Amino acid sequence: MTILSAPSTHLPPIGKIQTYSAEDLTKAVHYLRLIYNPDVRGIRRVDLVSSLKHGSHPSPDPNLDALRSDAFERSYAIRWLTALIAQVYRLLECDCSDDDDASYDAAGETSELEVLLQQASTLLAICAGTASAGTITRTFHFHNSDEPIEIQLTDVPLENQDYTSVGAQTWGSACLLAEMLVEDPEVFGLGSPPEDLRVLELGAGTGLVSIALGKLLSAKGHSASSVVATDFHPSVLANLKSNIAANFPHTSPCPISISSHALDWAKFPALQERPAPFNEPFDLIFGADIIYEVEHARWIKSCAEKLLRKPDVSSTWVHSRARFHLIIPLRPTHTLESSTVETVFPFSARSSGAEQLVILSKDVTVCEASGDVRSRSGAAAEVEYVHYAIGWDS
């Protein structure tokens, strides 16, 4: 267990910051991140915790919430970071006036001081409060049997707490689904030999699931596959597009197609003509934490009925097993909304026999709650996530 002490007792004294090395100051900033950087991963599955190697996922101090909410300590952290940033600026100004331009190395890469400045500035915004936090960039690491997958994501603040823009944040369901996809792709029909697939994500938000899919399909040789990430809110779509570009830069060739598009669940089913890329069916549809209003399940079912590939005896094995994979947290504040999934999608055993979308399987995963996951799931120490595999029953 990592025991975190108060910043006022742990950090280098403000008056002596200039006497510490960049390496020591970087360590101090990383220490503050353990306290104040929002943790949105929320993917420590309880059934897997006992198998983790010692030290791979250090447990937080049980009093972390109290420490994080301590007004004096937060104020001290803000003062310390402000002093650090001022000192780094002074050092960089000296470097820039030097003919050797010491702030850059021979390859033109950002110096250690500039990296420290960027990290400290971001953390200062976080400590000042979510409303003024600006953008927060995190790196996610997932492990696959072929090769590890690294994803860089940027979260942006909600627009005036507009609930329709919650996709600007990365939530626990997306973290869990991305991890499951990468660790066990065969469960989702993504094993070998590679198939050319059309994949859709509903409510993609920051794009974690779609980007993980894109990198997984690329690694597995799905050379002609495509991933379509969708959302509704303009600011979410702008951030989604930026995150895709950051993970699939034009300078690096990508064997698959990945793109972002607007999709209004309420209006799409009634369209007489479906625009590209929605004019062709999808082999797989994914959704993570997209049921937070009572009408969402009904809207999503109507969209899935139009977009999920229907069974065809001439199709390949994967195409004949088109699936909609939905993961939602069982939040005590959204019990009614969660229950609508099983109301709208009947279980296969209760099917009338007509061609319709039904729940083929339901699995529950328990994860340790932390950070933003806890804030959306109440104060419980654990969060239950339900994974529904939905498909055609004819």
pLDDT digits (tens, 9 = 90+) for 253-284: 667 899 999 999 999 999 999 999 999 999 99
Higher pLDDT among residues 128 and 244, named by residue: 244
Task: Kindly give the pairing relationship between strand 323-329 and strand 382-393.
Answer: antiparallel
Average pLDDT of span 91-107: 56
pLDDT of residue 392: 93
Instruction: Judge whether residue 230 has pLDDT over 70.
Output: yes
Q: What is the dihedral of CA 183, 216, 140, 125, to 10 degrees?
A: -150
pLDDT of residue 44: 67
* 160 phi/psi in degrees, rounded to 5: 50, 40
Instruction: Judge whether residue 342 has pLDDT over 80.
Output: yes
Domain locations in the chain as residue ranges: 7-39+55-132, 136-393
**Segment among 63-72, 78-87, 184-193, 290-299 with least mean pLDDT:** 63-72
pLDDT of residue 63: 67
pLDDT of residue 34: 82
Place 144 in a pLDDT band, splitting at 50, 70 and 90. confident
Of 109-113, 146-150, 323-327, which one has max mean pLDDT? 323-327
Of 59-63, 114-118, 155-159, 303-307, which one has max mean pLDDT? 303-307
> What is the arrangement of strands in the sheet containing 323-329, beginning at the earlier edge strand?
257-262, 226-231, 198-202, 284-288, 323-329, 382-393, 356-368
Enter the pTM of the model: 0.70
pLDDT of residue 369: 67
At 20-69, the pLDDT tens digits run: 998 999 999 989 888 876 544 445 677 665 444 433 444 445 567 678 77
pLDDT of residue 199: 96
Burial 24-49 (b: 16+ CB within 10 A, else e): ebbebbeebebbbbbbbbbbbbeeee
For the domain covering 136-393, report its CATH number.
3.40.50.150
Judge whether 386 and 363 are in contact, CB under 8 Å: yes
Of 104-118, 190-204, 217-231, which one has max mean pLDDT? 217-231
Question: Residue 286 has which token pair?
Answer: 């994914």
Query: What's the mean per-residue pLDDT of the chain?
Result: 79
* 76 phi/psi in degrees, rounded to 5: -65, -45
Q: Where are the beta strands (DSSP E) in 195-303?
A: 198-202, 226-231, 257-262, 284-288
Instruction: Judge whether residue 330 has pLDDT over 90.
Output: no
Judge whether 278 and 285 are in contact, CB under 8 Å: no
- Name, in order, each residue with C-beta under 8 angstroms of 100's C-beta and a sequence gap of 6 or more: none
